Amino acid sequence: MNKKSSRVCGYPLSIFFIVVNEFCERFSYYGMRAVLVLYFKYFLRWDDDLATSIYHTFVALCYLTPILGAIVADSWLGKFKTIIYLSIVYAIGQVAMAVSAIHDITDTDRDGTPDNMTFHVVLSMVGLFLIALGTGGIKPCVAAFGGDQFSDHQDRQRRTFFSVFYLCINGGSLLSTIITPILRAQDCGIHSQQKCYSLAFGVPAALMLVALVVFIVGSGMYYKAEPQGNIMLDVCKCIGFAIKNRYRHRSNQYPKRQHWMDWAEEKYDKLLIAQIKMVLKVLFLYIPLPMFWTLFDQKGSRWTLQATTMNGYFGSLVIQPDQMQTVNPILILTLVPIMDSVIYPLINKCGLNFTPLKRMTVGMLLAAIAFVCAALVQIEIDKTLPTFPSTSQSQLKLLNMGSETVTIKMPGNDPLNLTAAQVSGQINISVGHPEVRNTISLAKGQRQTLLIPLTITDEWLMTDDITSKPQEGNNAIRFVNGMKTAVNVSIPAANFGLIEPFSYSNYSLIKNGKVTFTLWSGSQSCEYSTDFGFGSSYTFFIPSTLVFGPNCQESITAAEDIKPNSVHMALQIPQYFFITAGEVMFSVTGLEFSYSQAPSNMKAVLQAGWLFTVAIGNFIVLIVAELAKLPKQWAEYVLFASLLVAVCFIFSIMAYFYTYIDPAEIEAQFKKNVNEDDEDNKHKLQKTERFYRKLFSGGTLKQYTA
């Protein structure tokens, strides 16, 4: 088929269908992924560890299956058919997920919970497997198929296409990560109303069907390169033969060959050998690249955890810690056009030849700078964190539940006067110190509160207090009842239960924002409202003197056990900016580079090689997080930044020796010679070989201009 099909502004019309397909597919993938862990935890009722492991296994699988899709496309079905077939598999997987999340299917007793959990687990696992096969399988094909739509001389347009392609990835993911959590939060069901996971998976399934339909609609306009036989098998056999032949001729009596693949010349086509050399050259260059993704992927883990220790109030807007991750796609949508239309042309105007490999090197350095920023933010956060007792220390707080002032004398501390309903600050006491009388027992490494009763001679009560920041930016809240009657405390999201006289409740986790507590004692009630930030802990004391009425705002004492997060989440923006600017330079360029440097019959395979670096990067995060247990988080960030700088240095040396090629030109030379008559052919073949050898010994073949 002719590549010169309908064009708009010099761009093939067919790419419109490809980018819309990518937008819908990424919406489908990232939308489903956004609610997956919650589905495992709250619908399938798995514990955190199992949910996290299955989630990461799924993500890793999604970046491993591209190899399979690429082999099928380049060797057998061609990219077009592979995309169609695997998209169908993908859509079936998404539908299976949506069906698996309908609780009514097995809820025979109609209590709102599935009665046959095995059915839901099996169906969702089958669904996830099909999705991983589909999303991974089509990913290298769609990018390469888009690249195929351009003629050889359209380098500039093809580069723009890869930028727009990246914009679609991030536009789709941004929209879906906002929408699917909202869908999940809705209530739905036939017999009973439950959180609507089926809708949260159903909409991504619908979008995948839209992606498929859009792709099929464009069918008549595509340029469809035919696969050239089982190329991957030929490649493996050719490499195997070259290695064997080299080994057979290892003695010095045989003249050396310029490249070890030249040992396959006795049996294999010179064109195939040339193509394998092109692929190996690029794959070799990819070896250091996973380190970039190792840093990049920590946005979703370490950086989100960092955000949980920060303050997310942006005026009236409240940003939850995990929502900070959307800064990445938002910045992609702004930085890609800026880079393409301002920064790169400006660099070009300054006479600098900003080649793809130079861009990727700068991208890596920017990612390292992002981690230095993360370390600086961490140092600021650490300054505001409470000091918890060491393993040889205890911290004690005193709460006077009585109505009269008491004076407490502690060994090694000045006498302390506590008025009625007053809570002291933390007092550090060395446990095991001979002066400490055994009237109260202090636990090592613990924070405790001593509740001094109404009548001082009554039994004194010790509570165990929280010794770490509450998870996920929540606030840990508890109540101490100083009244002579039991009190029930509740809020819409939690019930503290009935608190007996002179007793206390367990901690409950509460989200940020204004909360109104309702206190009940018999038929009497009153309300108490307060505002919570992120990551604080409070003990609320209900005094014996409390009078129930419309509100009990003035009577309740709040003791701050842990201060709310004070370092603002906006401080994470510089690190997000640098990692995203790095991503634009590294990833958008890498995508185009992988296409332009691949031989025509292995375009999808090199795209899969590129995606494989993402998968390896993910694995390194898991390994390094386990091994490098540094005591300080900021030190771990600095370690990662240094590792990336070291890797970047190695990569820049490798890049320096890389010669850009024009695979189409090389292939054309080889093919042309095959068609000439014998004598001429021999002469031309020698000429091509000289030309080709020059390429692999470092001669510049393709003058790259940004």
Residue 609 in the binding site for ligand LLOS6N5M (CB under 6 A): no
| Backbone φ and ψ of 397, nearest 5° | -120, 150
DSSP lists the bridge partners of residue 400 as 452
- Joined together, the tokens standing for residue 682 give 């021999």
Is position 31 an interface residue for ligand LLOS6N5M (rule: CB under 6 A)? no
Matching residue, tokens 């935890």? 41
The residue range among 208-216, 326-334, 352-360, 440-448 that interacts with ligand LLOS6N5M, by the rule CB under 6 A, is 326-334
Instruction: Check residue 409 and give left, alpha or beta (phi > 0: left; psi -120 to 50: alpha).
Output: beta
Span of 169-177, 258-266, 501-509, 634-642 interacting with ligand LLOS6N5M by CB under 6 A: 169-177
- Listed in sequence order, the residues at least 6 apart from 458 whose beta carbon sits closer than 8 Å to its beta carbon are 502
Alpha carbon distances (Å) from 575 to 280, 282, 299, 589, 615:
34, 30, 10, 21, 23
Tokens of 4: 């010169």
Question: Which of 9-17, 167-175, 468-476, 503-511 is the region at the interface with ligand LLOS6N5M (rule: CB under 6 A)?
Answer: 167-175
Q: Are 519 and 553 in contact (CB under 8 A)?
A: no
Among 75, 170, 176, 306, binds ligand LLOS6N5M (CB under 6 A): 170
| Interface with ligand LLOS6N5M: number of residues (CB under 6 A) | 10
| CB of 34 vs ligand LLOS6N5M, minimal distance in Å | 10
Buried b (16+ CB within 10 A) or exposed e, 61-87: bbbbbbbbbbbbbbbebbbbebbbbbb
328 is an interface residue for ligand LLOS6N5M by CB under 6 A: yes
Q: Which residue, 202 or 617, has its beta carbon nearer to ligand LLOS6N5M?
A: 617
173 binds ligand LLOS6N5M (CB under 6 A): yes
Among residues 95, 130, 169, 357, the one that binds ligand LLOS6N5M under rule CB under 6 A:
169
Query: 579-608: which residues touch ligand LLOS6N5M (CB under 6 A)?
Result: 583, 587
Asked if 210 touches ligand LLOS6N5M (CB under 6 A), the answer is no
Give the interface segment with ligand LLOS6N5M, choosing from 165-173, 519-527, 528-536, 569-577 (CB under 6 A): 165-173
* In the complex, minimum distance from the CB of residue 299 to ligand LLOS6N5M, in angstroms, rounded to a whole number: 7
Cβ burial, residue 437 (10 Å; 0-12/13-18/19+): exposed
Looking at 211, 396, 569, 614, which residue binds ligand LLOS6N5M (CB under 6 A)? 614
Site string for ligand LLOS6N5M, 508-527 (x = CB under 6 A): --------------------
Q: Which residue's CB is nearer to ligand LLOS6N5M, number 606 or number 614?
A: 614
Residue 30 in the binding site for ligand LLOS6N5M (CB under 6 A) = yes
Q: Which residue lies nearer to ligand LLOS6N5M by CB, 282 or 327?
A: 327
Residue partners of 540: CB distance under 8 A and separation at least 6:
477, 478, 479, 480, 517, 528, 556, 557, 558, 559
Closest CB 577 distance from ligand LLOS6N5M, rounded Å: 13
Of 74 and 583, which CB lies nearer to ligand LLOS6N5M in the complex structure?
Answer: 583
Q: Which residue has the tokens 């956004």?
A: 34
Closest CB 518 distance from ligand LLOS6N5M, rounded Å? 41
Neighbours of 13 (CB within 10 A): 14
Distance of alpha carbon 665 from alpha carbon 168, whole angstroms: 31
Residue closer to ligand LLOS6N5M, measured from CB, 38 or 431:
38
Separation of alpha carbons 31 and 165, rounded Å: 18
592: its two tokens: 């185009």
Q: Does 127 bind ligand LLOS6N5M (CB under 6 A)?
A: no
Question: CA nearest 399: which of 429, 414, 419?
Answer: 419
- Residue 528's DSSP bridge partners are 517
* Residues within the interface to ligand LLOS6N5M (CB under 6 A): 30, 169-170, 173, 328-329, 332, 583, 587, 614
